[in-house]
Structure 1
Amino acid sequence: MEISVGHTPDSDDAFMFYGMFTGKVPSPDFKVNHVIEDIEKLNQKATDPQLDVTAVSVHACAYIPGYTILRSGGSFGIGYGPIVTARGQMTIDEIKKCKIAIPGKMTSAFLLLQLMIGKFDYVEMNFSDIPEAVKSGKVDAGLVIHETQLSYAQEGNVKILDVGEWWDKTTNGLPVPLGINVMKTDLGMDTIHKFDKYLQASIEYGLDNLEDAIEYAMQYSRGKPRDLIEKFVKMYVNKVTVNMGDAGEESIRRVFEMAKEKDLVPDFELSIAIK
């Protein structure tokens, strides 16, 4: 079966798909054509289902009823996650009043920050442009995702809020639900389950062949040094990535319960693949 698979130009996604896309983990069931897009573009594509399988933000699940969440391939922070940066420290009241650059309205980071501080003034931009926009004063603060969570100090900014830490404390240690992979529901649960296992095998291959998988992921390093990319990959390719388990599933359900209470997402039915 030939299927289209979308993932982001990010090192953690590349690491997860290393075994699959290089043919080192073959499948008798699937021939994969992969499409690489920024996460917010993949979120938007998924609202009008174009790809058979795609990476999306957890937040996007509220707007993509045609997809089922896979149990493997999720990006979950274990006590860490998105942060907010600025040129200098601010009080929480000052943060609530300032204009914050966000990496997209459908990103999980945006939803989590709204849950943390309430609705705020924002401007959307590509996540990689946010650090410079903060440093130059184009915006007052920036909601930072991906490897720039680790490099903000070198970029001349300071951390003023830790969204991942807030979620960890608020939920008594549930993993921070950020990105997941989804598959078209109409392909059938048997096919979805088979692909889920295929992706899981690819992730496990990367973890078992760490050096080679990191080297493959470096093509999406965006000029960051290898040690930073390796640290980032190890943060977001973890045991919950291999299989979300009960904790990962509960974190996804919890974020939407909280969001519905605050009218931040529409009412919808969540579809998660069988165990």
Structure 2
Amino acid sequence: MEISVGHTPDSDDAFMFYGMFTGKVPSPDFKVNHVIEDIEKLNRKATDPELDVTAVSVHACAYIPGYTILRSGGSFGIGYGPIVTAREQKSIDELKKCKIAIPGKMTSAFLLLQLMIGKFDFVEMNFSEIPEAVRTGKVDAGLVIHETQLSYAQEGNVKILDVGEWWDKTTDGLPVPLGINVMRTDLGMDTIVKFDKYLQSSIEFGLKNFDDALEYAMQYARGKKRDLIEKFVKMYVNQVTVNMGDPGEKSIRKLFEMAKEKKLVPDFQISIATK
């Protein structure tokens, strides 16, 4: 079966798909054509199902009823997650009055920050442009994701908030639900479960062949040094990535329970692949 798979130009995604896309982990069931797009573009593309499988933000699941969440391939922070940066320290009360750059309205980072501080004034921009916009004063603060969670000091900014730390304390240690992979529900649960296991095998292969998989992922390093990319990959390709298990599933359900209470997402039912 030939299927289209969308993923981001990010090193952690590339690491996960290394075995699959290089053919080192073959499948008798699937021939994969991969499409690379920024996460917010993939989020928006998923609202009108175009790809068979795609990476999306967990937040986007509120708007993509045609997809089922896979149990493997998720990006979950373990006590850490997106952060807010600025040129100088600010209190939360000061931050609420700021214009904050966000990496997209459908990103999980945006939903989590709304849950943390309430609604705020924001401007959308590509995540890679946010650190410079903060440094130059184009915006008052920036909500940063991906490896810029680690490189903000090199970019001349300071950390104000860690949304992941807040989630960890608020939920008694549930993993921070950020990104996941989804598959078109109309392909049927048997096919979904088969692909889910195929992706899990690719992730496990990458972890067993870490140096080779990291070298492959470096093509998406965006000029960042190898040691920083290695740290980032180890943060977001973890045991919950291999299989979300009960903790990952609980964290996704908790996110939407909290968001529905505050009317930040519509009322909907999520679909998660069977175990």
Cα displacement (A) at 1:15: 0.1
- Please tell me the residue identity of whatever aligns with 2:4: S
Shift of 1:207: 0.0
Q: Give the secondary structure class of the aligned counterpart of 1:23.
A: coil
Correspondence for 2:53: 53
* Separation in 2, partners of 1:120, 1:3: 40
Corresponding residue pairs, total: 275
The separation in 2 between residues aligned to 1:274 and 1:190, in whole angstroms, is 9
- Ranges in structure 2 where 5+ consecutive residues have no aligned partner: none
Q: 1:172 is matched with which residue?
A: 172
Instruction: Please give the root-mean-square deviation of Cα atoms over the aligned residues, in Å.
Output: 0.2
**In 2, Cα distance between the equivalents of 1:213 and 1:90?**
39
C-alpha distance in 1 between matches for 2:92 and 2:29: 52
Q: Given residue 119 of structure 1, which amino acid in structure 2 is its aligned partner?
A: K
Structure 2 equivalent of residue 43 of structure 1: 43
Trace 1:8-87 onto structure 2 (pairs within 5 A).
Answer: 8-87=8-87
Distance 2:134 2:44 in 1: 25
Q: Matches of 1:20 and 1:42 in 2, distance apart?
A: 20
Counterpart for residue 115 of structure 1: 115
User: C-alpha offsets along residues 126-183 of structure 1, whole Å, 9 cap, x if unaligned?
Assistant: 0000000000000000000000000000000000011000000000000000000000
- Give me the whole-angstrom Cα distance separating, in 2, the residues matched to 1:231 and 1:163: 19
Deviations along 1:24-78, whole A, 9 cap, x unmatched? Answer: 0000000000000000000000000000000000000000000000000000000
In structure 1, the residue corresponding to 2:89 is in which secondary structure? Answer: coil
Give 2:139's aligned residue.
139
Runs of 4 or more off by more than 4 Å in structure 1? none
Q: What is the identity percentage for the equivalent residue pairs of Structure 1 and Structure 2?
A: 89
Alignment of 1:1-275 (within 5 A): 1-275=1-275
TM-score (norm 2): 1.00
For residues 110-129 of structure 1, what are the alpha-carbon distances to aligned partners after superposition, in whole Å with 9 as ceiling and x for unaligned? 00000000000000000000
Quick one: which amino acid aligns to residue 79 of structure 2? Answer: G
Residues 79-100 of structure 1: CA deviation (Å, up to 9, x unaligned)? 0000000000001110011000
Paired letter, 2:201 = A
**Structure 1: which 5+ runs fail to align?**
none
Residues in 2 aligned to 1:269 and 1:79: alpha-carbon distance in whole angstroms: 27
**SS of the residue aligned with 2:111?**
helix
